[in-house]
Amino acid sequence: MPIQTGTDTAKTRRTLKSGAQTVDYYSIAAATEAGLGDFSKLPASLKVVLENMLRFEDGGRTVSVDDIKAFAEWAEKGGKNPREIAYRPARVLMQDFTGVPAVVDLAAMRDGIKALGGDPQKINPLNPVDLVIDHSVMIDEFGTPRAFERNVELEYERNLERYTFLKWGQNAFNNFRVVPPGTGICHQVNLEYLAQTVWTDTDQNGATVAYPDTLVGTDSHTTMVNGLAVLGWGVGGIEAEAAMLGQPISMLIPEVVGFKITGALREGLTATDLVLKVVQMLRKHGVVNKFVEFYGDGLDNMPLADRATIANMAPEYGATCGFFPIDDETLRYLRQTGREEDRIALVEAYAKENGFWRGKDYAPVYSSTLELDQGDVVPAISGPKRPQDHVALTDSAFEFQKYICGTRKLPDPARAEIKDWNEEGGAPAPTDLPGHHDGYNSGTVEGQDYKLHDGSVVIAAITSCTNTSNPYVLMAAGLVARKARALGLTRKPWVKTSLAPGSQVVEEYLKAANLQDDLDALGFNLVGFGCTTCIGNSGPLQPEISKSINDNDLVAVSVLSGNRNFEGRISPDVRANYLASPPLVVAYAIAGDMNIDVTREPLAYTAEGKPVFLKDIWPSSKEVAELVETVVTREMFQAKYADVFKGDERWQAVEVTDSETYDWPPTSTYIQNPPYFRGMAQEAGEIHNISNARILALLGDMITTDHISPAGSFKADTPAGRYLTERQVAPRDFNSYGSRRGNHEIMMRGTFANIRIKNEMLDGVEGGFSKDVSGNQAAIYDAAMSYADQGTPLIVIGGIEYGAGSSRDWAAKGTNLLGVKAVIAESFERIHRSNLVGMGVVPFEFTDGQNRKNLNLKGDEVISIGGLEGDFKPLSLVPATITYADGTVKEIQIKARVDTEVEIEYLKNGGVLQYVLRNLAKS
């Protein structure tokens, strides 16, 4: 389908010749010549957005000349001009956990538009959509040569119903492609194949137009592709659906934080060490709702794989995106990964012609700046429960022991008191920790000759898009395994090990380097191509290990090369999770214990009793670089992506019906027609004040979307488990919340159901509980339904950074379906705030330094919010009345985080999808 450029854009349109190609493009220099302003000092990331304004200018209906001039004013004002603009990304990227509910919504919208008398064919993506199935594979089998095949078999057994639905969607909708299971992780497939850096398409007049490759994705780590100078970020499925249906994304012109990189990494350090430091620095700086752009001569020493690692973790440092401008390294990577030479030449010519090139004189204006000399980076991990909790590797054991002492309510140890943990009976055990030994728990493991204790590493996973896109750290992991194997070392028997690359190319180059055999010898067999452990699909631990952990209340540990380590995410049996580089993951599998100081103490001993230290098996930077340069080839990428949409025999055998609308199977426990459009009126309504609402949850700081809508497994005694049991689904077939996102009945029962969430209405209670109408403790779903039966609206109270983490739309959808009308927090993360508005839930922020604590909220208050009717404006201050249990009344002012006029319209319609559906039905 041709792109629809604006109606008033001719004055900035130019022609560019690149080799044999001649293309049109929208010139930033021409905009200056036309008197629209000086844009020369804009950061490249913001020039991408400016080009979008030039291309879609239509005289003011959505993009006006004043919108374009605002970018020049941004530079004049030192990097600040928060004007509302309408931005149109070139394409949309999805994964299956978030993609299934998006396709469910599209199918429901076809039913909805028919009910309004419209044409179902109007519900079709106008922008290209690629959905990569990567979130469903679980690690049931590990440490054996058959692990990959067995896990794929189980994946299809569990998810055939979902895959059939997605394949129907691929046939039913235009402009929609599905990358089958077992191909890779969506962000790596995007980086290595889908992304083009400069996109081309024909416009409505048949002319070829070149423009920056841009996208939004239904996964927060869509930002990874910014390492390739492709501007993209995560949005909820709701916002992505609106974008694919032609609705522009309403946003404010962002601030851009300049992050200057100088120097080079020291010997033996990895991109993971670098990114964990970057995350810490940017979290401290404060970059929520901002772009971060990396610049400086240190980029000359940074391969694109390392840039992608840093860009990937933008959600962890809180930014909208972390962008790297186009330079020679961009071109090298495009060439290495098999892009066409004509495209590479166009990228270079376009970037230099239109001001996107990072040359020696690149010095734009930024809203604020900070700087890092790569030479100052030290080996590190992050944990035990937040990505920004940076820990120097030299401090890792000590900091873990401090964490244990806090968990066990013991005095903090002094560093001088920490003694070595010696081997007793063939396994580490606490022996000499003055004053704290009795506070450490340990337990036997049935049928085994070893014990577990606080700090035992039970999961070591090379996983996630963050690191498995990077051949430097993957080769380093393989070399650690090779050196350890040569010394006769292997993983500890209680460690569940796995290798789940984000791309089939990784399998090729590890085999070509003869490193896969070494990884296999240590238990890091290929378990699948997908997110696995990072998304919580770590699979069950061995029953006897799980029993020992739970019977003895052990703080077990996972070490993963991922980007997320939030509480309750990785495994229900694991309470402390650490992010680490792939070679460190291998090292911790050998050590098997977080209490070991891997920088000073032996990881293990040879058969002869000789201690082996980390330095004995750590490869040099030169070894790694030489292996990457000789083994990773352009031909590998071309071969593996030649038939990327074809899939294996299993995918090809999935049978689907050819129909315009979906025939919803009434007995399905995976796919159900959601209620959002049932009985929807032709016209929008109004926003109403909230009267006499009760508090469903009183929550603390950094409540993530994992807390609000967990993705992992659940038990039979939960509301979701009871729902399935009533439908004769056995617990072994429950699968996960993430895999059942196509069924709103499961997902609303799973909202606020994280096993580690703490509702402050209940003292000392962990898990998804609240108080029902009668004041009794109940599961949050059951409590919400008791209020729904009385017609009582609900409110959720939160702290700082409410909604951090994944972009999952179900965190907002579930909130809506539980009857929550508003969330009041101290601050919101970007994507979740937007999702709440998109689902008709109003986000509010406390003002004047007030919060749940100094307002003395206990959860038994009644709250009313006014100021939402009539002339309600974006970012309004509105009155809220709190009636305490003793009858005391307090009125406060809260700030409506409804940021734009378009969002006001969304709320009037009940949500963004209802808004789009009504407009399509009328057109």
Same domain assignment for residues 82 and 101: no
Distance CA 4, CA 352 (A): 25
Residue matched to tokens 């601030």: 255
Distance CA 272, CA 383 (A): 13
CA distance to 128, 429, 553, 614, per residue, from 423 (Å) = 58, 6, 22, 17
Enclosing H/E stretch for 833: helix 830-838
Q: Write the CATH number for 312.
A: 3.30.499.10
Same domain assignment for residues 492 and 528: yes
What pLDDT sits at residue 424? Answer: 36
Same domain assignment for residues 323 and 471: no
Residue matched to tokens 């604020």: 368
Which residues have CB under 8 Å from 220's CB, separation 6+? 234, 314, 315, 805, 806, 807, 831
What pLDDT sits at residue 426? Answer: 34
CB atoms inside a 10 Å sphere around CB 729:
15
What pLDDT sits at residue 415? Answer: 65
The tokens describing 88, both together, are 């149109």
What pLDDT sits at residue 414? Answer: 65
What pLDDT sits at residue 439? Answer: 64
Distance CA 310, CA 272 (A): 8
3-class state of residue 701 by DSSP: coil
CA nearest to 824, candidates 810, 803, 805: 803
The tokens describing 707, both together, are 């807390």
Same domain assignment for residues 443 and 388: yes
CA distance to 430, 491, 669, 733, 910, per residue, from 725 (Å) = 43, 38, 11, 10, 33
3-class state of residue 380 by DSSP: strand
Peptide bond into 384 cis (omega under 30): yes
Residue 654 belongs to some domain of the structure: no
Helices (H), 437-569: 465-468, 471-486, 504-512, 516-521, 543-551
Strand residue runs (E) in 489-570: 496-499, 557-560
Final residue of a domain: which of 572, 607, 635? Answer: 635
- pTM for the whole thing? 0.86
Same domain assignment for residues 362 and 504: no
Same domain assignment for residues 771 and 886: yes
Residue 744 belongs to some domain of the structure: yes
- Please give the backbone phi and psi of residue 654, each rounded to the nearest 5 degrees, phi first: -70, 120
Residue 187's domain spans which residues?
91-196+213-376
Same domain assignment for residues 346 and 365: yes
Distance CA 432, CA 422 (A): 9
Final residue of a domain: which of 70, 87, 104? Answer: 87
What pLDDT sits at residue 9? Answer: 65
Final residue of a domain: which of 635, 661, 677? Answer: 635
Amino acid at 914: Q
Q: Write the CATH number for 902.
A: 3.20.19.10
Distance CA 539, CA 161 (A): 20
* Total tally of structural domains belonging to the chain: 4
Judging by DSSP bridges, how do beta strands 321-323 and 291-295 pair with one another?
parallel
- 10-residue mean pLDDT profile of the chain (923 residues): values are 66 92 96 96 98 92 93 96 93 90 92 91 92 90 95 92 93 94 92 96 90 94 96 89 87 96 96 94 94 98 95 93 98 97 97 97 97 96 92 94 87 59 37 47 92 95 84 96 98 96 94 97 94 85 96 95 84 94 97 94 95 97 95 96 93 91 92 92 93 98 93 92 96 89 96 95 94 96 98 97 87 97 95 92 97 97 96 95 97 96 94 90 84
Same domain assignment for residues 567 and 700: no
Same domain assignment for residues 384 and 342: no
What pLDDT sits at residue 433? Answer: 39
CA nearest to 45, candidates 296, 242, 294, 333: 294
CA distance to 41, 69, 88, 96, 134, per residue, from 31 (Å) = 14, 9, 19, 41, 42
Residue 660 belongs to some domain of the structure: no
Same domain assignment for residues 98 and 73: no
**Does residue 473 contact residue 379 with C-beta atoms inside 8 Å?**
no
Residue 667 belongs to some domain of the structure: no
Residue 299 belongs to some domain of the structure: yes
CB atoms inside a 10 Å sphere around CB 494:
24
Residue 2 belongs to some domain of the structure: no
Same domain assignment for residues 218 and 356: yes
Same domain assignment for residues 570 and 699: no
Residue 645 belongs to some domain of the structure: no
Which residues have CB under 8 Å from 480's CB, separation 6+? 583, 586, 587, 617, 618, 619
Distance CA 361, CA 164 (A): 53
The tokens describing 320, both together, are 């909208």
Cβ burial of 248 (10 Å; 0-12, 13-18, 19+) is middle
CA nearest to 234, candidates 242, 244, 222, 225: 222
**Does residue 211 contact residue 354 with C-beta atoms inside 8 Å?**
no
Residue 369 belongs to some domain of the structure: yes
CA nearest to 519, candidates 582, 459, 610: 582
CA distance to 67, 218, 221, 223, 811, per residue, from 233 (Å) = 21, 9, 7, 5, 18
